[in-house]
């Protein structure tokens, strides 16, 4: 019997801040560490391969697209059973997911949508656990982003 893993996680929040403010919180290494990774090594710019650290795990990204104040997309290798300690290396050469942030101006602030897709193409041992971990993770991280911006 074959099980099909859900391919996508989507979360959204509305924050009382400009798109520019939210965008900077996503791409500025000095700001993103206040809500997402513990540290960032490198630049969050198109074509760059920064390393995000979460506790003891180091995760290399490939920054795919940045459309200032509107959209940010990067690929990463989720830390499931196949990469429990993180991943450093050529992200695009391994099974990976795509993380996208879309920012839309709405009355009173900015709608922030995060979408992570590609779970169905991950190795079977990794896909289901990673989907669950990242589903909970995005709820937590988006809450942290909302808290950070609302305190300003």
pLDDT in tens, 15-24: 999 999 999 9
Half-sphere exposure in the Cβ direction for 96 (13 Å, CA): 22
Per-residue pLDDT of 104-129, as tens digits, reads 999 999 999 999 999 998 888 778 88
The domain that holds 37 is classified in CATH as 3.30.530.20
Q: What is the pTM of this model?
A: 0.92
Query: Does residue 101 lie in a domain region?
Result: yes
Give the burial class of 63: count Cβ atoms within 10 A of its Cβ; 0-12 exposed, 13-18 middle, 19 or more buried.
buried
Digit-coded pLDDT (tens) for 12-53: 999 999 999 999 999 999 999 999 999 999 999 999 999 999
In a domain, 44, yes or no: yes
Question: Domain limits at 113?
Answer: 8-150
* Domain count of the fold of the chain: 1
Question: What integer pLDDT is reported at residue 80 of this predicted model?
Answer: 56
């Amino acid at each position: 019997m074959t099980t099909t893993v859900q391919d996508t996680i989507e979360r959204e929040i509305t924050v009382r801040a400009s798109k520019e403010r939210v965008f900077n919180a996503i791409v500025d290494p000095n700001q993103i560490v206040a809500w997402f990774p513990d540290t960032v090594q490198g630049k969050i710019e198109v074509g760059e391969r920064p390393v995000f650290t979460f506790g003891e795990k180091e995760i290399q990204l490939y920054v795919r697209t940045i459309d200032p104040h509107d959209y940010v997309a990067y690929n990463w290798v989720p830390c499931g059973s196949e990469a429990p300690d993180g991943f450093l290396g050529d992200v695009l050469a391994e099974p990976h997911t795509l993380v996208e942030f879309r920012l839309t101006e709405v009355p009173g602030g900015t709608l922030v949508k995060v979408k992570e897709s590609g779970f169905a193409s991950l190795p079977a041992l990794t896909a289901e656990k990673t989907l669950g971990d990242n589903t909970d993770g995005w709820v937590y991280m988006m809450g942290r982003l909302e808290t950070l911006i609302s305190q300003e």
